[in-house]
Amino acid sequence: MDRRNKNFNGGRPNRNPKSFVPNEPERDVINPYTFIPVSEKAPCRKAVEFGDLSGYIDCTIKIQSPVFIPNSSGEFSDETMPEHKHRVFFFYEDLSEQKKLTDAIRMPQMPIVPGSEIRGMLRNVYEQLTNSCYVHIDENNLPFKRSAEPKELCLLVWDEASKGWRIYADVERNVYKGAIIHKNGGMVLENTFKGRYDIDDQYRKTYSVFDTAESYRVSFDPKNKTISKDAQGAWFVHIPSKMKTKMGGTWTANRQIVYTAQGLSPEKGGLLSDEVMQRFQYVLGMCENVKGGYMDGSFNKSGDSKTRTAIYAKRYRQKLPLIVYADKNSVQKNFTNDIIYLSPASMTKEFFGQTILSILEKNAEHQKCESRDAACPACRLFGMIGEKSSLRGKIRVSDGQPKEYQFGHEITLPILATPKISATEFYLKKPGSMQEDGVWTYDYYTTYRGSGRNISFIRHPYVPTLAGRKVYWTHKPTFKSEEKTKMNSSVTPIVSGSFSFRLYFDRLTAEEMEQLLFSIELSKRNGEEKACHKIGGGKPLGWGAVQVTADQITCFSYQMQNGKIERAGKAYVRNETMRTAVESTKEAEQILCYAQSKGVDSSMVRYPARMNRNGERKIFEWFSKNRGSISMPKIRQVLPTIDDKNNKLKE
């Protein structure tokens, strides 16, 4: 059957040739973030060892670029645009009852840098320095990615006897009796009709009778080509959502499917595992804690699409027959493989069987620590909270109190979203065994044969390697204020000044002490300019750069006086041998590489994007182009490594 129409192009929508600037010259850009690679050595896990160094460090935070740390107790609606939010700097006041934004709230007299923020900032660097576990993993941000491979039309039916879902593939041939009716043509299985026919009028009439994204029991007259609602009928009709492309026109799901229950014997359908169906629920967005599904408002801004998916999910809960799409690899294997990718549309996203935690375990066992008797260096110093046991840390950090400060003017930020781990050309290393063009995901990498309508995809399972720990380049900050929308927010940052805090330490070893001091000051003994930590929001914009100094290090000593133990303080004397050992590590060099501004042209730092005729830079379009096309999928550019002298991408 030929189901193509003017909006089809080898199974994919046509792009409007006037949407993008033709022959746009390439520009060099530096991506705002990079990665410190995952070490090939597993973290040194063991029980806590106690040294003889206890005391405190008086520190100063010096603001180097705009810093904004939000007060989570309140946000304020814009007077002219209620959906736009104003957020204010952290200070000691509960704002949950405050309704109006005033200058006293926007620019408080006692702004505070919370100790939890400082602690997290220091731990982040300490983890990088000591090859520790990856503790800050968002377990609800599961790996998913849009697939360039069109999926196969299938039927999903609940099998009450097996208490599970069975999937029937090869819909357009003889797995079951039925018909596929398309706007410009149709095909009926089992020779109910012969050849193609024009049912454009029938399509419009039927579409107006039945709701979209639903299946109904109907009466179907093959001779007259009529379909009517009838609870006693033997046929079912499914009408998928009428999807519209941004460039105009309809495609992909613009067809009706009519089928009977005849031929749906268990031996013809593959029984799907609970794990497969769980990931299908992730795609739909049925799991509230998992990000990225079609009903997740933070990812899918289309209310109409979310509504249709909700109707589809309702049918799933009711265990009614569903039209689904499955990856060709699974169809070819008759669903005997473990990882099967289902979706409600042909071109869609896939949630993967591998999670970040499972990948970290395979990447030299860098998953987060769970035992106090087998803790990595960072967990031994900062503490840990595990499902089986917890560990008290050896340091405590006070809140940062202002010495002097200056608020800037209010700035409307661009949209700052969560990490897009679906960008595998950035977040994953290219598979070492991949010798041909293609793309890679968290479960497999794909190569291809042919092109266009004759393309065939070959999936290769492999163990992925994460790019590493995400860090942001130090660069000149962006002060440009964006247009207010419901997607972004306005803030008033501190642009200059300093804060003081005290870090208490308890029974540190000499190695831990020198590692901690390097993590605080980010400097070497040779007098190089101190590098910058990153704290608060706006890091991709160059915001949050601060220099931290250890002004005074006081160690406690104890001695017996008149039958009592007296505590006295004395200045700490640096352990030069241990200090040299810490500063000379590869990890220290990598930290200073991104924390200093050397080798980074601030004018080039931005996310890569494509320019359209309206002068709008579209980040998504750059990634789309970078992954090739459906007829020739391949990743063209990968993110340069942190120590790559050529750290630029081409737009």
| DSSP string over 188-206 | EGGGSS-S----HHHHHHH
Structure-block tokens of residue 482: 């964006």
pTM: 0.83
Q: Measuring CA to CA, which residue among 406, 404, 413, 402 is closest to residue 539?
A: 413
Dist CA 110 CA 88 (whole Å): 12
Dist CA 275 CA 61 (whole Å): 48
CA-to-CA separations, 162 to 198, 270, 279, in angstroms, rounded:
41, 11, 20
Query: Which residue's entry shows tokens 């593959």?
Result: 270
Secondary structure (3-state) at 105: helix
At 187, phi and psi to the nearest 5? -145, 135
Burial of 295 (0-12, 13-18, 19+ CB in 10 A): buried
> What is the number of other CB atoms lying within 10 angstroms of the CB of residue 182?
20
Contacts of 644 (CB under 8 A, 6+ apart): none
> What count of Cα atoms within 13 Å lies in the side-chain half-sphere of residue 581?
12
Query: Which residue's entry shows tokens 């793309």?
Result: 439
Secondary structure (3-state) at 237: strand
Secondary structure (3-state) at 600: coil
Dist CA 588 CA 605 (whole Å): 23
Burial of 472 (0-12, 13-18, 19+ CB in 10 A): buried
The neighbouring-strand residues paired with 440 are: 445
Dist CA 406 CA 63 (whole Å): 10
Query: Which residue's entry shows tokens 């096309």?
Result: 629
Greatest C-alpha distance within the chain: 111
The neighbouring-strand residues paired with 479 are: none
Model pLDDT, residue 449: 85
The neighbouring-strand residues paired with 188 are: 179
Structure-block tokens of residue 187: 């095909």
> By the 8 A CB rule, do 341 and 330 touch?
yes
Side chain identity, residue 37:
P
> By the 8 A CB rule, do 610 and 24 touch?
yes
> By the 8 A CB rule, do 485 and 80 touch?
no
Dist CA 595 CA 475 (whole Å): 9
H-type helices in 78-150, by residue range? 103-106, 115-130
At 498, phi and psi to the nearest 5? -155, 155
> By the 8 A CB rule, do 441 and 430 touch?
no
Q: Measuring CA to CA, which residue among 220, 145, 217, 75 is closest to residue 464?
A: 145
Q: What is the CA radius of gyration of the chain?
A: 30
Which string of DSSP letters, residue by residue, matches 169-195? --TTTTSS-EEEEETTEEEEGGGSS-S
Give the pLDDT means over successive 10-residue stretches in the chain (651 positions).
Answer: 30 40 74 96 96 97 97 91 94 92 95 97 98 89 86 84 87 41 36 34 45 48 54 50 39 46 66 95 92 79 74 84 86 89 88 93 95 96 90 97 97 85 94 92 91 82 95 92 91 97 97 97 77 95 96 88 80 94 95 88 91 77 87 91 92 88
Spell out the domain ranges in the chain: 8-30+430-463+607-650, 53-143+358-417+471-603, 152-351
Structure-block tokens of residue 333: 């294997």
